[in-house]
Structure 1
Amino acid sequence: MGNKKSIKILFSVWSPFYSPAFLAGRLLQERQIDVTYDTVTETERYQRIKDNKSNTVVAAAVSLHWESCDDDREGIYHFAQINSCDGFFLVGRKPCKKFDWSQLISKKILVSGRQPITALQYAIKRHLAASGMKTEPADNGSQIFIFSEKGSVDEILQDFRNGKGDFAHVQGHWAQQLVDEDKNRFLEPVWQTPLTRYSFSSLMASNELFGGKLYRDFMKAYNEALKFVNTKSAGEVVDKIGCLFSCVEPEILRSSIEQYQNVGCWKHDGKISKELYCQTKEIFMDVGKDFKDLPYEDVVKTQSFDSTTINAKITKPEVKRLVREWFQNLDDYRTDAGKLNALVTESLKIETPEEALPFETWCQSITRFKNPTHDVKALEIEIDFDVANIKLVVRWERSDSEAENPEKREAFYAAQTWTIIRSEQDKKLRIATYKVDYLIDEVDLRGNTGK
């Protein structure tokens, strides 16, 4: 087991719109934590988290949960706000002294992404309503607004540079880049007063990240990053994250960040409030979008980092006591299941070489074994403040009520790997991950050793 911590921070697009998350990673690097940045497609987001449950953070939108199936999002929650308003710009190809939203009528707008398109439809509707014009934005030119949907920002940029479309709907830094390439072009931020704020983009991760020291380190860095981007100049932000945007001219990057600061994308406390969440739903409903109406608690993890959530360091005697209690209660499980349940997290799955079972399902499956005994033969403990990683070998003896000879006693040696965390609620230790690496029949083991 290695000592150095690492975290992956993934983005759908490489935009300074996500500056707080980029900067949080840079701050973690300064604290000797390995940080890997990468891009991820919308269809890969959940799987990339599941591939590395304990150390992966993905920038997404709460609306992604509304469009996904239950299995995809199981155990994954949004936990920190990145942007509380739209971060897209409209780039027009013809000179414009003063932009008016009615200028979009009968014009082709190059767009990409379900939530960005929804947000644009909402903005058009609200801006025109504010000017006294009542109309509904529509897709594919069926009415007066022509949305030409593309598969990616690269397609939008290519088409716009090749003369297609009247407006490009893109984030910074691409919007600023397009204007820099042709001074006749202009850009206009989509989000403006009097539009309401909502949860436009946020960070999501697996339950297995929450509560541990890495999560606490990340949230501390993230809160510092939020304060930095809101109080320092755009140039100072570029000094911190510019190395991550080596293909972007520093002045274009600075201009993009400055415009995001002016709009106020990052002016919030980092929490995804219920108000912001519900307002996002209102926007989808306002433009007639279908979506799965999930409760706030099913999407957002309300736990966040502040001085009250700092857990005490886990000690080896505590871990040994938990291991002892676990196997004692496992021996008595058929008569007292409650004690076993009190030692695990709600989301625990028992992983074996054959399958991964929800804890309750696994508990039901072991009732077939009679008079079990467990004897821990080896225990290795590694503590990272309020997270403990352990490896152990246990001798397990039992009879099987479903076997051909239900009274026959059989013994096995099981190698297991656990992660233990301290509960935020009662500060007691809980088993957060439980993996059976392999199981060897004692008879086979004796045969191999010649004993």
Structure 2
Amino acid sequence: MQTIQLISLRHSAFYTPYLITFVAGFLKQQGLNAVYRCVSNVDELESALRSGEAHVAQSAVGVSMRQIAVADKNPHSLPTLLHFAQINQRDGFFIATASKVTSLATGFNWKQLEGKRIIADHLFQPMATLKYVLHQQGVDVNSIEFIDIGNAAQSVQAFLNGEAEYLHLQGPYPQQLAADGKASIVAAVGEPLGNIAYSSLCATKDWLTSPMASAFMKAYKAALHYVEKTSAVILAQQLTEQFGNITLETLAETIESYKALGSWTTNACISEDAFQCANRVFLLSGDISSAIEYKQVVSQQLCKEE
């Protein structure tokens, strides 16, 4: 059996279809034994792919879009990778508050964030989409204090210490806080934003023409259909070992939240409409100064294979 090396920038239930590809045995059905690990930054991710140390990576088209945007000043920044399949077509971050007064069910108003402190993920994409939604909702973004604490665990601890009124994180961390009675989830950034080319799988151009790439894509497509038809509870049971500090119930609730949000689809292709939404978000944030062309970043070669 051939070994395929999989890497990821983040580890979250948000990437359930990617994780299920190897956890549920779909890669083994294609003769591939998966080794999975997380890397600390984009440079490490791209170096691993270019050197052949890794074959497939979870990243985002936004990373490549921003590289193209700065290429005039630094030609070496031009992306050498292509994004060949989508993982998520929605932003996967939630807004939580320590207050138990408001919740999604009671009609959160985004203007409630004005004048408040929010511990927010400062990676450029989640920050850009958060501010885009705030702009959409007519919120005075300049009145909000965005606090950068660090990783998810550090952010959660700072929130529990009372360093901000709101918390902006991917699942399952806000869901675990809610289950523990320490927070209420008041909003999902992906709901007002709609479909966007968010998280995706990328690889080198050469690898995309390999038999391994075709085998991986067959497994990934099978995983997408499996996630679509399988209950959140069963998916959580299969993924529980990947999230040792999260209860099974919370993991299932998180997966169900992403299903309800419409994060995942059985179509592996990154749509041009979703890509154009990313263009609008990054133009507003200033991460790009002009629209990026779809074909500069995305390959549909594998996703359209039968």
Normalising by the smaller structure, the TM-score range is 0.7 to 0.9
Which deviates more from structure 2 when the two are superposed, residues 26-35 or residues 245-254? 26-35
CA RMSD across the alignment: 2.1
Q: Using the alignment, how far apart are the partners of 2:235 and 2:48 within structure 1?
A: 28
Change (3 A) 1:256 1:184: closer
CA distance in 1, matches of 2:220, 2:164: 38
**Conserved in 2, the CA contact under 8 Å of 1:110 and 1:150?**
yes
* 1:93 and 2:134 matched: no
Equivalent positions of 1:31-42 (< 5 A) are: 31-42=30-41
Confirm or deny: 8 A CA contact 1:199 1:277 kept in the other structure. yes
**In the TM superposition, what is the alpha-carbon distance from 1:243 to its structure 2 partner?**
2.8
Deviation at 1:228, TM superposition (A): 1.5
Which one-letter code corresponds to 1:145 in the other structure?
A: I
Q: What fraction of aligned residue pairs are identical, expressed as a percent? A: 26
Structure 1 letter corresponding to 2:227 = V
Is 1:20 the counterpart of 2:20? The answer is no
Q: Which residue of 1 aligns with 2:168?
A: 169
Paired with 1:215 and 1:169, the residues of 2 have a C-alpha distance of 35
Alignment match, 1:261: 259
Once residues 155 and 215 of structure 1 are traced to their aligned partners in structure 2, the CA distance between those partners, rounded to angstroms, is 37
Q: How far 1:267 sits from its partner (Å)? A: 2.5
> What's the offset of the Cα at 1:271?
0.5
Radius of gyration: which is bigger?
1
**Does the residue aligned with 1:118 lie in a helix, a strand or coil?**
helix
Q: Give the number of the structure whose residues are more often helix, by fraction.
A: 2
TM-score (norm 2): 0.88
2:300 matched residue in structure 1: 302
**5 Å matches for 1:116-127?**
116-126=126-136
Of 83, 88, 92, which aligns to 1:83? Answer: 88
Relative to 1, partners in 2 of residues 1:72 and 1:28: Cα closer, same or farther, differing over 3 Å? Answer: farther
Residue 65 of structure 1: how far off its partner (Å): 1.1
Take 1:296 and 1:307, find their aligned partners in 2: how far apart are those partners?
Answer: 19
**2:124 counterpart (114, 123, 129):** 114
Show the counterpart of 1:226. Answer: 224
**For the residues of structure 2 that align with 1:148 and 1:259, how far apart are their CA atoms?**
26
How far apart, in 1, do the equivalents of 2:213 and 2:231 lie? 28
| Amino acid corresponding to residue 83 of structure 1 in structure 2 | N
Determine helix, strand or coil for the equivalent of 1:19: helix
> 1:215: how far off?
0.8
Please list every run of 5 or more consecutive structure 2 residues that lacks an aligned counterpart in the other structure.
none
Q: What is the TM-score with the length of structure 1 in the denominator?
A: 0.61
SS at match of 1:59: strand
C-alpha distance in structure 1 between counterparts of 2:245 and 2:29, whole Å: 23
Shift of 1:291: 5.1
Question: Do the aligned partners of residues 121 and 301 (structure 1) sit closer, same or farther apart at CA in structure 2, a change above 3 Å counting?
Answer: same
**Shift of residue 207 of structure 1?**
1.4
**Distance in structure 2 (CA, Å) of the matches to 1:20 and 1:90:** 23
CA contact (8 A) 2:114 2:140 kept: no
Residue correspondences, number: 292
Do the aligned partners of 2:12 and 2:172 also contact (CA within 8 Å) in 1? Answer: yes
Of the structure 1 ranges 143-152 and 183-192, higher mean CA displacement relative to structure 2 is found in: 183-192
Listed one character per residue, the Cα deviations across residues 194-253 of structure 1 (whole Å, up to 9, x for unaligned) are: x33110110111112112221111111111111121221101212333332233211111
Task: Check conservation: 1:216, 1:305, Cα contact below 8 A.
Answer: no
Q: CA deviation at 1:189?
A: 1.3
Does the alignment pair 1:212 with 2:210?
yes
**Which SS does the other structure have where 1:110 is aligned?**
strand
Matches within 5 A, 1:428-439: none
The Cα shift of 1:186 comes to 3.3
Flag the 1:175–1:192 CA change in 2: closer, same or farther, 3 A: same
CA distance in structure 2 between the aligned counterparts of 1:96 and 1:228, rounded to whole angstroms: 37
- For 1:307 and 1:277, how far apart are their aligned partners in 2? 21
Alignment of 1:354-393 (within 5 A): none
SS at match of 1:121: helix
How far off is 1:275 after superposition?
A: 2.0
Q: Which runs of 5+ in 1 are unaligned?
A: 129-133, 138-142, 309-451
* Kept in 2: contact 1:95–1:186 (CA 8 A): no
Q: Do 1:9 and 1:25's aligned partners in 2 also have CA atoms closer than 8 Å?
A: no
Q: Does structure 2 retain, via aligned residues, the 8 Å contact 1:47–1:72?
A: no
SS for the counterpart of 1:218 is helix
**Secondary structure of the structure 1 residue equivalent to 2:56:** strand
- After superposition, the C-alpha distances for 1:40-68 in whole angstroms (9 at most, x for unaligned) are 12231211111216x52111111111333
Encode CA deviations 1:153-204: one digit per residue, 9 max, x unaligned.
23212211222111110001111111122255334211214x3311011011
Deviation at 1:135, TM superposition (A): 4.2
